[in-house]
Amino acid sequence: MGMLSGAPAAAAPATVEVYKSPTCGCCAKWVDHMRAHGFNVNVHDVGNEEARKRAGISTGLGSCHTALVDGYAIEGHVPAQDIKRFLKERPRAIGLTAPGMPHGSPGMEGGRSDPYDVLLIDKQGGTSVYSSYPSSDRPGSLMRLK
């Protein structure tokens, strides 16, 4: 319809390939978060160690699931809004990570919310803060440091 009406066609949503454990509930909640934000998600219940290694993400930056989207790696509970921004900016990088399993991040909601950073992983494996979430904030109220 977009082309016929003179309006530009909407871009197709990105497809995210997620590698996770078949028994991880927080990973499933993160997948739901991604779908709720317009991403197509294919789930591979095979664990994520091999996917993380192939993507070039060190164990120290690891989490419970690894996602691949549009040539980038997303490690752990990174909020969808950061991934959307990242895919628009298209930096020369491996991807983004929310190391560990930060309480209060998408998929890890509950009674506690800890401060955490989403890190950009550069092509050499170094990191810089991409966005920061104070303990009282949720992903809807982002404090950007970059």
pLDDT in tens, 55-83: 999 999 999 999 999 999 999 999 999 99
Q: How many CB atoms lie within 10 A of CB 49?
A: 12
Segment holding 93, helix H or strand E: strand 93-98
- Collect contacts of 84-93 with beta carbons under 8 A, ≥24 apart: 84/37, 86/120, 86/130, 87/14, 91/120, 92/122, 92/123, 93/120, 93/121, 93/122, 93/123
User: What's the topology of domain 12-133?
Assistant: Glutaredoxin (3.40.30)
Calculated CA dihedral for residues 125, 131, 72, 16, nearest 10 degrees: 140
pLDDT for 33 equals 98
pLDDT for 11 equals 62
Domain parsing of the chain, residue ranges: 12-133
Q: Is the pLDDT of residue 2 over 50?
A: no
pLDDT for 8 equals 43
Ranges of H-type helices in 6-139:
25-36, 49-55, 80-89
pLDDT in tens, 83-107: 999 999 999 999 999 999 999 999 9
Q: Which residues contact 111 (CB under 8 A, 6 or more apart)?
A: none
pLDDT in tens, 16-53: 999 999 999 999 999 999 999 999 999 999 999 999 99
pTM of the predicted structure, to 2 decimals: 0.85
User: Tokens at residue 27, please?
Assistant: 């990973």
